[in-house]
Amino acid sequence: MDMPEPVNEDFDARYQESLDWLYSFVDFSMKRHVDDTHRFFKLDRMRHLMDLMGHPEARYPVVHVAGTKGKGSTAALVAGVLQAAGYRVGLYTSPHLQEFTERIRVDGQEIDKQSLVRICDQLRQLTSQVADITTFELTTALGFQYFAEQKIDFAVVEVGLGGRLDATNVVDPLVSIITPISYDHTAVLGNTLTEIAWEKAGIIKPGRPVVFSPQVAEAEKELIRVAIERGSPYVLVDESYRYKWLSLTHHSQTFQLQKNGVLTSLTGGSLVDPPLKLTTHLLGFHQIQNAVSAVAALDLIRQAGFTLKPEDVQAGFRQVVWPGRFEVLRSWPPVVIDSAHNGASMEVLAKALDDYFPGWKFLLVLGISADKQLDDMLQAIMPHVEQVITTQSTHPRAKDAKELASLVEPYGKPVRGIAPAEEALAEALRLAGDNTGIVVAGSVFIAAAARAIWPTIYQPPKKDDGRMLSSLDEE
């Protein structure tokens, strides 16, 4: 695709118009319910679009990341280490928290509005040749093209939904990663973990290595079956690495990582042999598991002939921030926002609350998308909270706050429905006082809303000491 010369104009207005154009197509992220028989779930359109564009996705090595939980964090950690090693790295993730440009980054910098407008203008000329193109497909094509123009050395690409029929699955990855699988999007992906794992395993390409994060047995069995069927070497993180928590604060955690015996899939050794002490600003034990999965992928990349050193892992992990995922907005009394949006991720959130804020009582500010399985979420989190305020973001998929409150009532905790989110969070601060923590969760959208609102309703003290919470060295 040709790159026309930039012109002088109001790019803020052009940028918004370009976003409106992107969202004018079929956009499943805005739909409250998705039918699994819907004709839009297929790769034909994306393959055709890549043909028309000259296959920008084939101009750089790709690390492809699927899974239910942790795929964005894992992708960011891989990208951070590759960048620390001196490579030019593109990172494609979804959804965004506050600005659309967050989805497409090169070396940590979001795509500029001028480039987004320009590439959208190029894509407009092609959409008439690809019937029924979707918003996510166009966004993915936009990211692939920008990465090609930026002459990146690597792209780290997060799957949007599922894997097998996701728009990103036109890539031929150097390495794939499948993070923990749990129940989500069952209308599209299936009602059993075997079915969901089969859809996620769609990113496994014949002969290409794949990393499997810790999985429940049913999902792991299916992932291994598909990998063997396709002749793809696989690394089981829990069998191949040993890791232990060393210490944590409200802003970081430190752990030790080492290989576990002989890594038969790695002929070039491991970045964590000898053991490596690592610090990350991503909080929670689940983020350590994501970090280990990232290291497993980096070991495979190193085996493929790319230069990576242990100190690159240390530096890369330290520089990664991933907002909205167990993010501590205030240490005392605690205010935490998280993007937990299904039962499994709520269980992870509950454990993290116990680990980081032992003994604290919490008020839950809950906002969910209309298509989520609420009972699984509430069963996981309600034993850890004393009262609930339900609310809703401005996203079209958001469930009504009052309706949500009525569904929470049977769990026996005081609950009120308050909208908009600004009023809900302000009321939570008033009710919580100095003796109760606040946790905001239920969807990426409510986490994003709370993160944006927080500076307008709370003025922090001049210094947060980030004191050590505990030392977890083994005896």
The full DSSP string for 112-149 is PHHHHHHHHHHHHHHHTTSTT-BHHHHHHHHHHHHHHH
Say how far apart CA 390 and CA 446 lie, in whole Å.
11
Tell me: do 144 and 247 sit in the same domain: yes
Q: Is the peptide bond before 396 cis (omega within 30 degrees of 0)?
A: no
What is the pLDDT, as a whole number, of residue 260?
Answer: 86
Which residues does the chain have with pLDDT short of 50? 2, 4-5, 7-8, 29-38, 465-468, 470-475
- Examine the domain organization and report whether 309 and 369 are in the same domain: no
For residue 460, count other CB atoms closer than 10 A to its CB.
Answer: 11
Report yes or no on 347 lying in a domain: yes
Shared domain check, 340 and 395: yes
DSSP of 65-100, one letter per residue?
EE-SSSHHHHHHHHHHHHHHTT--EEEE-SS-SS-G
Q: What is the pLDDT of residues 336-381, one digit of tens each?
A: 999 998 888 999 999 999 999 999 999 999 999 876 678 989 999 9
Within this chain, do residues 173 and 76 fall inside the same structural domain, yes or no?
yes
Q: State how many domains the chain has.
A: 2
- Contact status, residue 150 vs residue 53, Cβ threshold 8 Å: no
In a shared domain, residues 169 and 251: yes
Q: The domain spanning residue 435 has which CATH number?
A: 3.90.190.20
pLDDT of res. 461: 64
Angle at 188 between CA 184 and CA 193, to 5 degrees: 50
pLDDT confidence of residue 473: 37
> Can you give the pLDDT at residue 470?
46
Q: Are 158 and 168 in contact (CB under 8 A)?
A: yes
- Domain extent, residue 97, equals 11-319
Q: What is the DSSP letter of 56?
A: G
Are residues 282 and 360 located together in one domain of the fold? no
Task: Looking at the structure, tell me whether residues 236 and 359 fall in a common domain.
Answer: no
At 42 the pLDDT is 83
- Res 474: pLDDT: 34
pTM: 0.90
302 and 308 Cβ atoms separated by less than 8 Å: yes
Over the stretch 244-278, which tens digit does the pLDDT of each residue have?
999 999 999 999 999 987 555 555 689 999 999 99
List Cβ neighbours of 444 (8 Å cut-off, separation of 6 or more): 95, 97, 324, 339, 341
Do 307 and 366 share a structural domain? Answer: no
Among the listed residues 398, 395, 179, 132, the one whose alpha carbon sits nearest the alpha carbon of residue 292: 179
* Final residue before a domain boundary, out of 319, 338, 359: 319
Residues 341 and 420 in one domain: yes
Same domain, 107 and 146: yes
